[in-house]
Structures are given as C-alpha cells and as structure tokens.
Structure 1
Amino acid sequence: MKLQVLQDNFGNQTGVYVPMEDWTLIKNNYPDIENLEQDLLQWEKDLIDSRLEAIAINPERLKPIEGLLEELKRKI
C-alpha cells in the first residue's frame, strides 16, 4: 500500500491519499468503513458514561487485559 501523507504550507499533516486499488481492498475487508463517522446512539453513550462512572467510583476494579487473556488461555 503506497499511502501519501498530505501537508499544508507549514508542514502540518492534513490528510492521507489512498490509491483507489488500496481503497477498494480496504472497503472489501471493512464494508462499514464509510460509516465510521456516524454519531454513537444515545444508548451507547449512556453505556459508556455508566462504565466510566463505575470506574471513577471503584478504580481498583479496572485490571489490565493481559490478566484476562492469560486466564482464558489456561481454560482452553
């Protein structure tokens, strides 16, 4: 994949050029890619807010994912 990073006159990155052949391949592998900019539904926002609130109230319950992955491997 030959991506090109686009820059403005000040050298700030402003975009990426993706050749059509590569874009077609990406769309085939990720058919919903053009819908990624859609806003979250209210129930999704509420769920995220409630989980963040639970973490803020009880941060020691938050654990690294590696522990879960190791436990799952042991059960296989």
Structure 2
Amino acid sequence: MSLQFISDSTGETTGVFIPIEEWNELKGKFKGIEQAEIAVPGWHVDVLNKRLADYKNDPTHVMDFDAAMDEIEKGL
C-alpha cells in the first residue's frame, strides 16, 4: 500500500493519504468501512493514561524501541 503521511510545520504527522484506487479496493474488501466507528474500550484508555502518567513522572524509565524489540524477539 502506498500511503503518504501528512505532517504539520513542526514535522508531526497529522494525517494519512490513501490513493483512491487503494481506498476503493479497501472498501470492496471491508464492507461498511466508511461508516465504521472505531471505539476504544475504556480499559485500554485507562491503561494508556496510566502509562502516560508514569512516563510524565519519570521519563528516564523507558526502553529504547530497538532494545524493546530485541527483548520481545528473545522471548519468541
């Protein structure tokens, strides 16, 4: 899929552009995708909020992405 990411003036990604041909293909595969509402379960929101609060309280207690992936791969 050839997605294009849209960024604001600070470089933060603010959106995604999907070419119309690929969007039409997705609509064919996933009926009702245009009307789909994505609801995040409340407990997911709670976990995320806790993790964000933990990070804000101690931003030094985080793991580098590559190190985290290495740890995950060790367990496979």
Q: What TM-score does the superposition give when structure 2 sets the normalisation length?
A: 0.48
Task: Write 1 or 2 for the structure with the bigger share of helix.
Answer: 1
Q: What TM-score does the superposition give when structure 1 sets the normalisation length?
A: 0.48
| Structure with max Cα Rg | 1
